[in-house]
Amino acid sequence: MSVQAYILIETEPGKVKILVDELAKIKELTSACGITGPFDIIAYVEAKDIDNLGEIVVKKIQTLKGVRKTMSCLCTYRCPKCK
């Protein structure tokens, strides 16, 4: 069963554009956007399962230079308009 999640990312100052471009290279990410608020980037991830999601976050996102902190928000229900 697939797992979808929004990953909130806090970055070092001045790193948002660079990190959004780097995140776009991760095949499991559907989108990554710079945002305002306590986090700097929000990314949408589709993973095979919860273990795969953990690997993506820990090995592909948190290892990027300039990432300070992440918070994973798993999707429990999607509106009918969402694919």
Q: What is the CATH number of the domain that holds 22?
A: 3.30.70.920
SS3 52: helix
pLDDT score of 31: 95
Which residue would you say has higher pLDDT here, 32 or 81? 32
Residue 79 in any domain: the answer is no
Residue 44 in any domain: the answer is yes
Of 15, 4, 9, residue with least CA distance to 32: 9
Which position has the token pair 């992440």?
70
pLDDT score of 25: 97
* Contact in structure between 13 and 54 (CB atoms under 8 Å): no
Residue 82 in any domain: the answer is no
pLDDT at 81 over 90: no
Residue 22 in any domain: the answer is yes
pLDDT at 57 over 80: yes
